[in-house]
Amino acid sequence: MGPDLYVFEVGPKVEGVSLAISTDGVDWTDIGAIAGGRAEVDIAGAAQDGADFRFVRLTDDGEDCGTSFAGADVDAVAAIGSSLRFTLKGAVLFAHGSTDLMPAAKAALDNLAAQIAEANLSAFRVVGHTDATGSEAYNLTLSRERAAAARDYFVSLDSLASVSISSEGRGEADPLARNETAEGREHNRRVEVIGR
């Protein structure tokens, strides 16, 4: 389908690098070696459909440096077709273990709806996430129901009447932080709105 990433390295000496991508910065999918200079990378063969990759890791191949400085001098990485993403903390929207929007949540969702309308999105999806407390099945159901509650609220707004809105839950599958700490669990409990 064409390139997803461009990697740029300029200058008289360019070095090859290996490229990996990750959804969470912990587990990495190896894409392979890319040449120095300008590289166009299509990740379709290595990436699962619908996966959201937030991290790119470039590792110098250690060959043919040709300069007195170690490592490849990568100047820029550009993502093509990247999504517009908004994140709301779960504590702002829902009481612990609940799928009912709290009264204060509506103000946060109204503010986000105004940003979405201003961005002129024609479609977006609402994705619910939980921490790893509780069973995997419970967390998946909770995340789905919370995403649906936020989606239903967005659907009720006149400002988003012409926008296609879907929802999904990912449970504890895509953490942003470690679940071993209260702060990490708080980061993982969230609802994301991803524009398409």
What is the 3-state secondary structure of 114-156?
HHHHHHCCCEEEEEEECCCCCCHHHHHHHHHHHHHHHHHHHHC
Q: How far apart are CA 165 and CA 152, in angstroms?
A: 9
Q: Would you say residue 119 has pLDDT above 60?
A: yes
Crossing angle of helices 103-119 and 136-155, in 10° steps, is 70
Residue 86: closest CA among 190, 196, 193: 193
For residue 148, CA distances in Å to 83, 101, 126, 145, 192 come to 20, 11, 8, 5, 12
19 burial type by CB count under 10 A (0-12 exposed, 13-18 middle, 19+ buried): buried
Average pLDDT over residues 75-98: 80
Residues 102-133: b if buried by 16+ CB within 10 A, e if exposed: eeebeebbeebbeebbeeebeebbbbbbbbbe
In the chain the domains, ranked by start, together with CATH numbers, are 5-79 (no CATH), 85-195 (3.30.1330.60)
What pLDDT, on the 0 to 100 scale, is given for residue 63? 66
Beta-carbon count within 10 A of 189 CB: 24
Question: For tokens 């599958």, what's the residue?
Answer: 173
Q: How far apart are CA 174 and CA 165, in angstroms?
A: 21
Residue 160 near residue 117 (C-beta atoms within 8 A): yes
Q: Would you say residue 165 has pLDDT above 90?
A: yes
Q: How confident is the model at residue 71 (pLDDT cuts 50, 70, 90)?
A: low
Q: How confident is the model at residue 49 (pLDDT cuts 50, 70, 90)?
A: low
Average pLDDT, the chain: 83
Q: How far apart are CA 103 and CA 80, in angstroms?
A: 38
Residue 18 near residue 35 (C-beta atoms within 8 A): no
pLDDT tens-digit readout, 169-187: 999 998 888 899 999 999 9
What pLDDT, on the 0 to 100 scale, is given for residue 82? 61
Here the tokens at position 187 are 């980061």
What pLDDT, on the 0 to 100 scale, is given for residue 26? 82
Average pLDDT over residues 144-152: 97
Higher-pLDDT residue of 87 and 137 is 137
